[in-house]
Structure 1
């Protein structure tokens, strides 16, 4: 073969021959490592570091084919056995079970619920648990939903169940043996209600002791095969609306060990998160144990819902980070028009935007997780803040994840659209994030409610004001934004309800951007400053400076490298 032919062959490839990818998503993520090293205790970080190391390697390696397989070979409902007996069993591909094993091995539940670890790391349980969750969600967000539900039911069991139930069920959640794991579920949604939970009509009839018989249909039951289910139902004679709902612990077996009947009508054929089972279920004299008092159901369930919203945010952050890794690695080693794709100005401009968005959402999410840790440990001001911050971070991260993944896919061109790779799955999985655990309008109403009924708005504004001096030359611009937001809010809260609601959405979106930008300054030190300062400059220019057609220089390749925080 001629020399010219060899040269042509060498050029006939998608990426350069020196192409490299991250083989460990924990090791290659500088912002994540820095955050955990500086915002968790030395003892907590030392305990989790081997788990993070192992999971980071798994997320970049073995989880990828497992996740793609579990997505394409989703769960199957087996209604009856060979002899015609009703079974209502859900069967999963072995890849799903392998992914579950990786989750158990990561200690994401054990560090939070095993008694000695829980006592040892009490001030930082959510930070430690979500540290592995973030890495896990980068490769598998389908199963991350059942894992979210499992942590949620553990929270309800711990806070509201009897000592006997705690001793019986919690060890099945913090187990280090995957075959012993009990997963959880929340049966909330009904046809008549949807987001209007107060319209739910499933009925509960007193039966034996604390047990009721539940009858009716639950319309969207994610992780339908769960061993531990918390279901909302309306006791006979109870008031209408959410005030009349009770919450019931439903298990696969009745107290005598016989099967607890639940008819699974069909599995939902979802756009994304296809690896896990969502179903329509009819409860027919299904045994459920009343937790708390009859009218406390929705109030108790909100503890699980709010935790799930943070899981939603972590899943969104994990998905957008994975997309950022994929597109960054691709562009760094892709040659177009005679030079590296990253050397093109428009690509660098878009990567600067995506990198900035990721850091804003990254620090916003971890700020919320820190607030929950503090609130769970009795910090009243952080408890006020988390009421506003939870719906805020859920809405913001979900919307930005969808946007960032779509933009990353476009930057990769046609290859980003091919199902052999991970980008289409990331896109499909992310589309549910603005919907689950309350759609955007519900989050806006919850932010409004939190602002009117608690001091979360005041706490957030005070924190922004305290951090503004760290913004340096950008302090005046950001301070003006804060003053405008406070002035509009003061006037708005006196208006009729419809005006309040329609104005609240842009108001809270502006507040979210401002808080996300300023939150980065909370975590700035000599090491993180190198990427936070680039993101701060980008954010202020993009979101808080009047648009201009004045000439603008794009970020350098070195600055993009720093902003992405990618290191081998």
Structure 2
């Protein structure tokens, strides 16, 4: 008679496996990019997150995604309230992310997680990487809260920062104000210059110079609003009379609740019925003269907004990387125990090769992602121009390449579990659905490719990337590795020559090779990092 233990061995999953201690590659990246003291300090924190993610968060995610948010538009007296109700499992996921591990706050506040000073970017993203292996939805608000704080730190006035940063970076749920950004409109998603939302100075108000008050009101519709119930919303709007395109857009902060406790003047029309990230409330919003604070320079709204977009692009890359790693771990665990044709699946040559292929994909993308956040940390701490240029190209390369590979890896890993991989009670369907959004979130693939092209043309970021890769390849001394490094150097030369030829083509023709060039640049970066 088949026992429960026999079934568990024949149909194993990752239950009880610490996501951090089971991932020597993540430990390697931490050791490589952190000081010895910081690496040792991070070990306990990451190990604890690895355990919490694989057990408690994974259980909560199953419930929160099956019983997603509900929009209640009216109370029992018929008054408009637009309240989003979440299952308690989602709120517990929030508490773990924001409070137990301070992921949105730790790079902004000193002393988070007992760290002397601010937590390095690499550790923050490692925590997110482990958490997102269990649950992706809650990390969309985490990433936007983190990124909104970054925008205010860099572009808001000192009184503005004092007013809003403490709540955005709070480490207690009852003190926290979550962030969001509402950008997309019906007529313009990636084409932000088509934004039709209007900003008008509030009429009939007499504002004292020394008070911080919402001096603008916004009118318009926003079509994709993730974390729609957020407390503080960053959005773009066009002041009346401003020019068309992105140059005419101002950046505004819209509070959900006004200082007198009343609701701000916007309505949540409905929640989106999404393919994935079902635990997350994404909605459609109409602004009916919503009171708003101007952030930074009125004429540089879109430029300031890119600070938030670029950080959330890195978060999107890590979201796909997390789905890739968890999918691979599920496939590895399953095939090591599942017996077919007289031996474990993992011992069959074809399956063994498939596992190795997926492992290379995961570790290659991890190398690219953690190199990007190591450069981000250097930019934050030292502000060297060469690092800034590197970050400018590594960010879109990561956002383009990792989510595309994430689609492949999650599907391949699902197949390796056979029919079980297609069943909702297993992790793989949710991992696949949640990974797909990262391809389109914060710019679909073509948009990202065009962003790389603009950065190369205007800022010469390709030269910074190629110089970095050449220096690292030329520094390699291992006799086995050196011949491979020489071949990679040759390929870098070919790609750089092709990039330099783009200005000789007309605008239409110059776009045609871009996807292949961007993919090749990401791959050459990954190969270089893996050779080290």
Same fold, TM-score > 0.5, yes or no: yes
> How many Å apart are 1:509 and its aligned residue?
1.1
| Structure 2 residue 43 is the aligned partner of structure 1 residue 39 | no
Query: Matched residue of 1:61: which SS?
Result: helix
Matches within 5 A, 1:401-480: 401-469=406-474, 470=476, 471-480=481-490
| Structure 2 residue 285 is the aligned partner of structure 1 residue 281 | yes
Question: 2: distance between equivalents of 1:46 and 1:410?
Answer: 38
Does the 8 Å contact 1:198/1:240 carry over to 2? yes
Match of 1:547? none
Matches within 5 A, 1:12-411: 13=7, 15-16=9-10, 22-104=16-98, 105-115=100-110, 120-121=116-117, 125-207=120-202, 208=205, 209=207, 211-376=215-380, 377-411=382-416
Over residues 23-71 of structure 1, what are the superposed CA-to-partner deviations in whole Å (9 max), with x where a residue is unaligned? 3111111111122133112343344333322211111101112101111
> How many Å apart are 1:459 and its aligned residue?
1.3
> How many Å apart are 1:16 and its aligned residue?
4.5
Over residues 502-554 of structure 1, what are the superposed CA-to-partner deviations in whole Å (9 max), with x where a residue is unaligned? 11111111121111111223xx4xxxxxxxxxxxxxxxxxxxxxxxxxxxxxx
> How many Å apart are 1:263 and its aligned residue?
0.6
> How many Å apart are 1:391 and its aligned residue?
0.8
Over residues 442-471 of structure 1, what are the superposed CA-to-partner deviations in whole Å (9 max), with x where a residue is unaligned? 010011111111121011111221222433
Query: Matched residue of 1:215: which SS?
Result: strand
Does the 8 Å contact 1:202/1:214 carry over to 2? yes
> How many Å apart are 1:411 and its aligned residue?
0.9
Question: 2: distance between equivalents of 1:385 and 1:213?
Answer: 38
TM-score by length of 1: 0.87
Does the 8 Å contact 1:172/1:180 carry over to 2? yes
Give the RMSD, CA atoms, in angstroms: 2.0
Query: Matched residue of 1:431: which SS?
Result: helix
> How many Å apart are 1:294 and its aligned residue?
2.0
Query: Matched residue of 1:447: which SS?
Result: helix
Question: 2: distance between equivalents of 1:397 and 1:262?
Answer: 36
User: Which of residues 504, 524, 545 in structure 1 aligns to 2:514?
Assistant: 504
Does the 8 Å contact 2:219/2:290 carry over to 1? yes
Query: Matched residue of 2:134: which SS?
Result: coil
> How many Å apart are 1:168 and its aligned residue?
3.0
Does the 8 Å contact 2:104/2:143 carry over to 1? no
| Structure 2 residue 504 is the aligned partner of structure 1 residue 494 | yes
Query: Matched residue of 2:9: which SS?
Result: coil
Question: 2: distance between equivalents of 1:134 and 1:446?
Answer: 25
Which moves more between the two structures, 328-337 or 173-182?
173-182
Which moves more between the two structures, 126-135 or 390-399?
126-135
> How many Å apart are 1:11 and its aligned residue?
11
- Inter-CA distance 517–112: structure 2 relative to 1 (3 Å threshold): same
> How many Å apart are 1:22 and its aligned residue?
4.9
Count of matched residue pairs: 515
Does the 8 Å contact 1:15/1:335 carry over to 2? no
Query: Matched residue of 2:438: which SS?
Result: coil
The unaligned stretches of length 5 or more in structure 1 are 1-5, 525-568
User: Which of residues 491, 495, 503 in structure 2 aligns to 1:485?
Assistant: 495
> How many Å apart are 1:477 and its aligned residue?
2.4
